[in-house]
Amino acid sequence: MARDSDLDVAYVARLARLNLTKAETELFQKQLGDVLKYVEKLRELNVSGVEAAAHGVPIFNVFREDAPRDWFTAEEALSNAPRQTDGLFIVPKVVE
């Protein structure tokens, strides 16, 4: 069974930069906990004969050849930018 400690909504919210109130945190903790419990049902299935997969569909190697093409002009690329200068997207100052 899923345990409460499997999900720390407050921590995940912090990682996702979401400001949740205490009430919201409690509500989502319960709701998402229920979702986890529901998905737990999968554990009842016997998968001992099933090979582990990294993807849902058995398809491999979908590639494109290394041929360049143009798409956006700088004007098009920047057309949704709230701020721009000299062809650059301008964002609030960030530090590394």
Nearer to another protein, 15 or 23 (CB): 15
Angle ∠(32,38,41) on CA atoms, nearest 5: 145
CB of 42 to another protein, least distance (A): 17
CB of 59 to another protein, least distance (A): 5
Residue with tokens 């960030």: 94
Nearer to another protein, 23 or 62 (CB): 62
CB of 9 to another protein, least distance (A): 14
Catalog residues that contact another protein under the rule CB under 8 A: 15, 17, 54-57, 59-74, 77-78, 83, 85-96
Contacts of 89 (CB under 8 A, 6+ apart): 78, 81, 83
- Residue 2: what are its φ and ψ, rounded to 5°? -70, 140
